[in-house]
Structure 1
Amino acid sequence: MLTLSSSPVLYPLTDRAVISLTGADRAKYLQGQVTCDVDLLNAGDASLGGHCDSKGRLWASFWLANLGEELLLVLNASLLERQLPELKKFAVFAKTDVEAVTEQWQVFGLAGEGVSYWLDQQLDGSDNLLQGGVVIPVAAEHALLLLPAGTPPPELPLGNESDWRGLMIQAGLPDMQAEHQGEYIPQMLNLQALNGISFTKGCYLGQETVARAKYRGANKKAMFVLSGHAAAPISANQDLELQLGENWRRAGTVLSVYQDGEQCILTSVLNNNLDPDAVLRIKGQDDSRLSLQALPYNLVD
């Protein structure tokens, strides 16, 4: 359905928000808030991560980049209204400023065969800092590019934002939206399989739940990629139904979706013991059919 371009393509993204942390305690403060190990990130480094409530349920999944004197979180813009106040809540006790700075940045997706070579030429063998911004590798031949507002973007062919969403789904990368805040623990979005959770760092908000899911097998769900067909538009949070003989039973909801005509590909959090040959459909679209696709990585506890 979606194929990787034979050369690098730039995808301007309008649905991303950017949060900045500055100040002497920025790394120490964020280390106590999120699932990934902030202390391991040098200037130019990046990581997938999650920000949980005290019960280990996600306020947001995000990409974190270290710019040296500033930490940036890139996330779905719909999460910002509820997530930002939670992230700022304890910052008054630390030497750090936490602010939404979306208008100060341009966010692009970058994908296609040869992206890694193209980036090597642009970065000249240095770290991932570029033109006052940063490159965040997200998958093989896929990256996010953040540039300061007003900086001319690279002269590359432009792609559609919806296509970038589809590429992220095919890569098995989570992109939760506001409808799902407070529903999932990080392992339900496969963050542990994508190096987005550190089980050796110090305490952080929700850590007890995340650790219990790993060491006691408390989590029974995972994020899966499904593809198939549906005649009507699909939106985030729509219910999915699983076929059981002649009957259908609710199985989960749509996390992120890409459609091209009647063809579609989407992510959903489902029971992790689902039969690989399971048949699903969109609730209310009785003629729709979806099947599980192999993830491009191995799920781990």
Structure 2
Amino acid sequence: MLTLSSSPVLYPLTDRAVISLTGEDRVKYLQGQVTCDIDQLELGEASLAGHCDSKGKLWASFWLAKLNEQLVLVLNNSLIERQLPELKKFAVFSKAEVEDTSDNWHVYGLAGEGLSQWLNEELEGDNQWPGGGVVIPVAAEHALLLLPASTATPDLTQGDEQEWQGLMIQAGLPDMSAEHQGEYIPQMLNLQALNGISFTKGCYMGQETVARAKYRGANKKAMFVLAGHSDEPISVNQDIEMQLGENWRRAGTVLSVYQKDGACQLTSVLNKGLESDAVFRIKGQDNSRLSLQPLPYDLID
């Protein structure tokens, strides 16, 4: 298991993309597209959120921050090719512009003991970094830092990008890739347990399916954290099998993964109600073994 550094560490992230929304209708437009309630966010605040198709299946999950002149979405860059056109589709009817602005930003992870105190000394105001940057808290003593490309990098020890992925897995935070677009409803990635879904905001794309999953108990799956060992590389979307007696049955696929020295941690969408001592393995890696880990939050419906 990974442990937090004794002081804040900066993790340069090369696999993140940034989408910006500008224009006077940006909030109104995005409010009708995503799962969180943007109207409830103050300037400088952020939320986990999802963008669904009309059937309630996710094009993307992301962190959304509300800035003075724009809204920014931070997400896995593999999602952009399919998700961006879908997000733009109805913007032509609003005074809102949706753009991939990844080249304008540098994205970092921040984590370590004392991070909150360090940020209090560095920030200009509500999560505002000097020079136009923004901090997005994602878990206790964990945050994303978005800096304009021209802004100097903070003078901190730099960590490994894969280690940041492991920290996010331990925090039970979803990170979907292109392989899983159109496959999961938001509750399957635990967005409701992470305050990423509003059930009172009104209509948005896919809202009927999301509401039905809550009020009719239609969702039977959730995202879980597994940990164990494998001597072979594990990739996103590899099949995971669960042991049933002397046999193995497909249980899900790898959503995100961290590996080091034979140890591994990963997230996967699995059936709810699994026994806590269930045994899993990576398909084709017969010597691998994985077990369920406690989530750091309550898995509400």
- Size of the aligned set, in residue pairs, is 300
Counterparts of 1:198 and 1:137 in 2: how far apart (Å)? 19
Deviations 1:16-73 (A, max 9, x none): 0000000000000000000000111121000000000000000000000011110000
Counterparts of 1:215 and 1:116 in 2: how far apart (Å)? 37
- What amino acid maps onto 1:197 in structure 2? I
CA contact (8 A) 1:9 1:111 kept: yes
What's the offset of the Cα at 1:245? 0.4
Counterparts of 1:118 and 1:105 in 2: how far apart (Å)? 22
Indicate the percent of aligned positions where both proteins have the same amino acid: 77
Deviations 1:70-106 (A, max 9, x none): 0000000000000000000000000000000000001
Alignment of 1:1-301 (within 5 A): 1-123=1-123, 126-131=125-130, 132-301=132-301
Contiguous gaps of at least 5 residues in structure 2? none
TM-score by length of structure 1 reads 0.99
- What amino acid maps onto 1:244 in structure 2? L
Counterparts of 2:120 and 2:217 in 1: how far apart (Å)? 41
CA contact (8 A) 1:67 1:133 kept: no
Counterparts of 2:128 and 2:64 in 1: how far apart (Å)? 13
Secondary structure in 1 matching 2:197:
coil
Secondary structure in 1 matching 2:243:
strand
Deviations 1:136-183 (A, max 9, x none): 000000000001002101100000000000000000000000000000
Structure 1 runs (4+) deviating above 2 angstroms are none
TM-score by length of structure 2 reads 0.99
Counterparts of 1:235 and 1:68 in 2: how far apart (Å)? 39
CA contact (8 A) 1:9 1:156 kept: yes
Counterparts of 1:190 and 1:275 in 2: how far apart (Å)? 19
Counterparts of 1:200 and 1:151 in 2: how far apart (Å)? 39
Contiguous gaps of at least 5 residues in structure 1? none
CA RMSD of aligned residues (A): 0.6
Counterparts of 1:231 and 1:12 in 2: how far apart (Å)? 27
Secondary structure in 2 matching 1:218:
coil
Counterparts of 2:223 and 2:153 in 1: how far apart (Å)? 33
